[in-house]
Structure 1
Amino acid sequence: MAFQKQEIIPSIRHTGEFLEAAARGASCVLLSQSDMEELVKVQKVCRRMPHVQLMIHVDILKGLSETAEAVAFLAAYIRPAAIISANPSVIAAAKKHGIPAIQRCFIFDEESLGRSLRMVEHGAPDYIQVMPGLMPEVIRYMIKKTGRPVLAGGLIRTQEEAETARRAGALAVTTSHKELWENMADSTAADEK
């Protein structure tokens, strides 16, 4: 996947942000907190820029439910590079359709940590997104316990916070903070050398 070469993944809401992220060198973006109309617009632009892959956070996309049918629609008409969801049935549906699945795990105490580990074990996602991404020890623990690559997301606002998540083992950081998008091109260029 393209984001394996990109340390910062822009979390976008509309076409303007997609174009801004692409102009800054993104090879992958995450559509989040948006709606179906914007999804169609972003997808049309994305088709004209095949070097930029589109991941979709299904749970907070207005007009789309967290169902196997929604994933089937996305697989047939949008063809995303990956789907992110906290819902295990969405993860299973994505895998059924050959779409890389990213299990979003909200971890805020021991109980949520245990629940997240059980979801990952049961659903066998391709990747995990740890939320909030400000917990380096939890990132390390999830990698060790699951053996899966981890993305860090949520509340990461500074370059230092992003670097801390990466040093803890996160494959990439998802963020809507545009100041962090500046470093995206450097990380992809460095990996290509």
Structure 2
Amino acid sequence: MGNSFREIVEDCPVIATVKDVKSLEKSFESDSRIIFILFGDICNIASIIDRVKEQGRVAMVHLDLVSGFDGREIAVDYIRNMTRADGIISTKTAQVNRAKELGLYAVYRFFVLDSRSLENIRKQSAVTKPDCIEILPGIMPKIIARIVRAQRIPVIAGGMIDDKEDVMQALKAGAMAISTTKQELWFI
């Protein structure tokens, strides 16, 4: 894999997030070095990842959104042994831990709903030590700043980022990167 995940994210802070083949193909026109894959199934995920790797990009698979995986650790083993993915994204502690054990990059995704969510982020990320945490929605600059101050782990802001202003506010608040399905933002 070469560079650390942090170095790759720092180099290009807009992460193309794809949810279908059409957006996957469009992502290759962008400068994004990392592609978050939010679609596929157990039968086609390897070929989707191969397409990303053919373009020289870092392939990160959101295991919670791949049909046929049931949230267990064995899904991470499948990704490691049967595909060329660089890493995984998950909301599940066991999957993040397993990815780290297997030498894959791991992004731990959290939904920030209330102050209890903030405490959960602190506790879970301290235990799992993912490469990055991703917080959703990503349009909360004050909350992003609070999480960044409390973490030593890089923060990615994702979800509901609609325009350049949202991107700039998230980055200004301390997020290392943003992830978005908004294709026009891949080119800013």
Task: Give the Cα separation in 2 of the matches to 1:101 and 1:165.
Answer: 21
SS at match of 2:117: helix
- Structure 1: tracts of 5 or more residues without a match: 184-193
Is 1:150 paired with 2:155? yes
Q: Which residue in the other structure is 2:119 paired with?
A: 114
- Structure 2: tracts of 5 or more residues without a match: none
Instruction: Work out the percentage of aligned pairs sharing the same amino acid.
Output: 25
Deviations 1:145-176 (A, max 9, x none): 12110000011111100110011111111111
Match among 86, 90, 101 for residue 85 of structure 1: 90
Deviations 1:99-125 (A, max 9, x none): 111111111211111122111122221
SS at match of 1:9: strand
Task: Give the Cα separation in 2 of the matches to 1:89 and 1:48.
Answer: 30
Deviations 1:8-40 (A, max 9, x none): 111112333222111222221100143334423
Aligned residue type for 1:71: V
Q: Which residue in the other structure is 1:26 paired with?
A: 32
Q: Which moved more, 1:29-38 or 1:122-131?
A: 29-38
Between the two proteins, the alignment pairs up a number of residues equal to 182
TM-score (norm 1): 0.87
SS at match of 1:4: helix
Contact 1:106–1:116 (8 Å) recurs in 2: no
Task: Give the Cα separation in 1 of the matches to 2:13 and 2:71.
Answer: 28
Aligned residue type for 1:5: D
Is 1:3 paired with 2:9? yes
Aligned residue type for 2:19: R
Q: Which residue in the other structure is 2:72 paired with?
A: 67
Contact 1:53–1:80 (8 Å) recurs in 2: yes
**Higher helix fraction: Structure 1 or Structure 2?**
1
TM-score (norm 2): 0.90
Contact 2:39–2:66 (8 Å) recurs in 1: yes
Q: Which residue in the other structure is 1:180 paired with?
A: 185
Task: Give the Cα separation in 2 of the matches to 1:13 and 1:38.
Answer: 14
Task: Give the Cα separation in 2 of the matches to 1:24 and 1:47.
Answer: 15
Q: Kindly report the root-mean-square deviation, in angstroms, between the aligned alpha carbons of the 2 structures.
A: 1.5
SS at match of 1:134: coil
Contact 1:15–1:38 (8 Å) recurs in 2: no
Task: Give the Cα separation in 1 of the matches to 2:43 and 2:171.
Answer: 34
Is 1:131 paired with 2:136? yes
Q: Which residue in the other structure is 1:191 paired with?
A: none
Task: Give the Cα separation in 2 of the matches to 1:112 and 1:54.
Answer: 28
Task: Give the Cα separation in 2 of the matches to 1:111 and 1:48.
Answer: 42
